[in-house]
């Protein structure tokens, strides 16, 4: 079948050209140009997308190089490359390779965890508000969903979560939490894990781990050694800037991972994201740069919005929650009319606006539109 010209990204800055007979002459994209274009694209986009907590600085240049080199491997299943990635992740986290399961985004990890550990009579216990995916997957599988309101200072309510999970099921802890951007202090997460009832599994979603600076936050990955009922989920969609490529993973004991693996599609990973992730793990400078730029831009936006008289929730992530003191729904629509997309309305916090921290030009565009809408 003749190959047609295809664009590799929604922004259309890369083109692969080729014909069936001339497939060998496939022209590879210039990824140096692509990287630069990715970094500057948001400022010239018609729509400023600040709705999905993506990293506006994109993947590491080393990840682009690795993907270009891996095009020629596209015909093969990615087995040995996944094994190499798992080995890298195991080394990073100080666990055995049998403690890591990679998936197509952490969404796949959440979905298979819901399938494995919830069902009729086995509830999904989550905070409210929190990232809704796990509760949705569980409820589609016939599980009851118990929503436990966050505390007044936006922490997970550990005693209430434990009580709700007394009969088993899956407790989902998003730390830092989406959409509030807040953390649950490490002592409380430890307490939850230590006291979880025997029949209950605890899934700690650390999608925003790299953005948390507070001394009161910690990853719970080291705790998997002592807790067979603990699963930690991570993603390459946030600080690694690869949301469009789809990679996440779970860290847990082998028997727990076996139950997740039973629910997973075979070969759900693609080779490009696997090699890109390995390269990204090596490029700690790129991660550090993303973290620093996020912190600087977040501080600037916080003081700018605060200067307009609005209160904001503390943020340990790449997004901010602004308390509007009025329903956010019309504000979301009005911002959209001005070309700025922000987070959806969360029923438990209907007066708060969630905005992703983009580049400084993007946030200046947001601030201009926000002033106009709120005037
Ligand atoms: C807390 C949290 N977990 C998981 C995800 C899903 O991420 P992905 O499937 O891209 O890894 C998101 C996406 O925004 C998120 O906010």
Instruction: Indicate whether 284 pLDDT > 70.
Output: yes
Q: In this structure, is residue 277 part of a structural domain?
A: yes
Last residue of a domain, one of 282, 300, 319: 282
Least confident of 8-12, 82-86, 226-230: 8-12
Residue closest via CA to ligand 1's atom 6 equals 107
Number of domains forming the structure of the chain: 2
Q: Ligand 1 pocket test: pick from 49, 52, 107 the residue with the most ligand atoms within 8 Å of its Cβ.
A: 107
Last residue of a domain, one of 282, 316, 340: 282
Same domain, 310 and 263: no
Ligand 1 center to 75 CA (angstroms): 29
pLDDT of 51-110, one tens digit each? 999 999 999 999 999 999 999 999 999 999 999 999 999 999 999 999 999 999 999 999
Ligand 1 center to 207 CA (angstroms): 6
Q: In this structure, is residue 61 part of a structural domain?
A: no
Ligand 1 center to 105 CA (angstroms): 7
pLDDT of 118-171, one tens digit each? 999 999 999 999 999 999 999 999 999 999 999 999 999 999 999 999 999 999
> Is the backbone peptide bond immediately before 363 cis, with ω within 30 degrees of 0?
no
What's the token pair of residue 143? 């599980």
The band of 45, judged by pLDDT with boundaries at 50, 70 and 90, is low
Taking residues 342-357, report their average pLDDT: 98
Instruction: Indicate whether 3 pLDDT > 60.
Output: no
Same domain, 132 and 256: yes
Q: Ligand 1 pocket test: pick from 134, 237, 246 the residue with the most ligand atoms within 8 Å of its Cβ.
A: 237
Ligand 1 center to 302 CA (angstroms): 23
Same domain, 269 and 359: no
Which atom of ligand 1 approaches the CA of 108 most closely? 9
Cβ(355)–Cβ(343) below 8 Å = yes
pLDDT at 260: 98
Same domain, 153 and 269: yes
Beta partners for 356?
Answer: 319
> Over the chain, what is the mean pLDDT?
90
Same domain, 231 and 304: no
Q: Ligand 1 pocket test: pick from 104, 111, 133 the residue with the most ligand atoms within 8 Å of its Cβ.
A: 133
What are the angstrom distances between the C-alpha of 66 and each of 32, 268, 279?
12, 19, 7
51 lines ligand 1 (CB under 6 A): no
Give residue for tokens 């600040």.
50
Same domain, 273 and 352: no
Least confident of 12-16, 89-93, 248-252: 12-16
223 lines ligand 1 (CB under 6 A): no
pLDDT at 46: 80
Instruction: Indicate whether 180 pLDDT > 70.
Output: yes
Range of the domain at 336: 285-374
Instruction: Indicate whether 237 pLDDT > 90.
Output: yes
108 lines ligand 1 (CB under 6 A): no
């Amino acid at each position: 079948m003749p190959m047609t010209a295809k664009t590799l990204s929604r922004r259309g800055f890369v083109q692969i050209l080729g014909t069936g007979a001339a497939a060998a002459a496939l022209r590879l994209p210039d990824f140096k140009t692509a990287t630069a274009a990715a970094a500057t694209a948001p400022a010239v986009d018609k729509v400023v997308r600040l709705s999905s907590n993506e990293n506006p600085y994109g993947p590491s240049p080393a990840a682009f190089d690795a993907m270009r080199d891996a095009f020629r491997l596209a015909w093969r299943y990615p087995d040995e490359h996944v094994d190499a990635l798992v080995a890298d992740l195991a080394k990073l986290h100080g666990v055995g390779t049998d403690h890591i399961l990679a998936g197509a985004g952490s969404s796949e990890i959440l979905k298979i965890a819901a399938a494995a550990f919830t069902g009729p009579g086995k509830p999904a216990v989550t905070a409210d508000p929190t990232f809704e995916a796990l509760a949705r997957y569980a409820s589609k599988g016939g599980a009851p969903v118990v929503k436990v309101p966050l505390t007044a200072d936006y922490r997970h309510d550990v005693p209430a979560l434990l009580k709700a999970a007394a009969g088993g099921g899956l407790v989902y802890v998003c730390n830092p939490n989406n959409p509030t951007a807040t953390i649950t202090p490490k002592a409380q997460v430890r307490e939850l894990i230590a006291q979880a009832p025997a029949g209950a599994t605890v899934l700690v979603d650390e999608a925003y781990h790299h953005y948390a600076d507070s001394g009161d936050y910690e990853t719970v990955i080291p705790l998997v050694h002592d807790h067979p009922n603990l699963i930690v989920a991570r993603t390459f969609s946030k600080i690694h800037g690869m949301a469009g490529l789809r990679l996440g993973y779970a860290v847990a004991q082998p028997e727990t991972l076996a139950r997740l693996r039973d629910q997973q599609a075979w070969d759900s990973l693609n080779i490009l994201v696997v090699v890109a992730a390995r390269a990204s793990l090596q490029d700690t400078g790129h991660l550090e740069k993303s973290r620093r730029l996020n912190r600087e831009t977040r501080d600037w936006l916080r003081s700018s919005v605060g200067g307009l008289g609005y209160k904001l929730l503390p943020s340990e992530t790449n997004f901010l929650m602004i308390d509007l003191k009025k329903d956010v729904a019309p504000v979301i629509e009005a911002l959209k009319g001005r070309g700025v997309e922000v987070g959806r309305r969360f029923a438990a916090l209907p007066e708060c606006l969630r905005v992703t921290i983009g580049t400084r030009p993007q946030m200046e565009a947001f601030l201009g539109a926000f002033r106009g809408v709120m005037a």
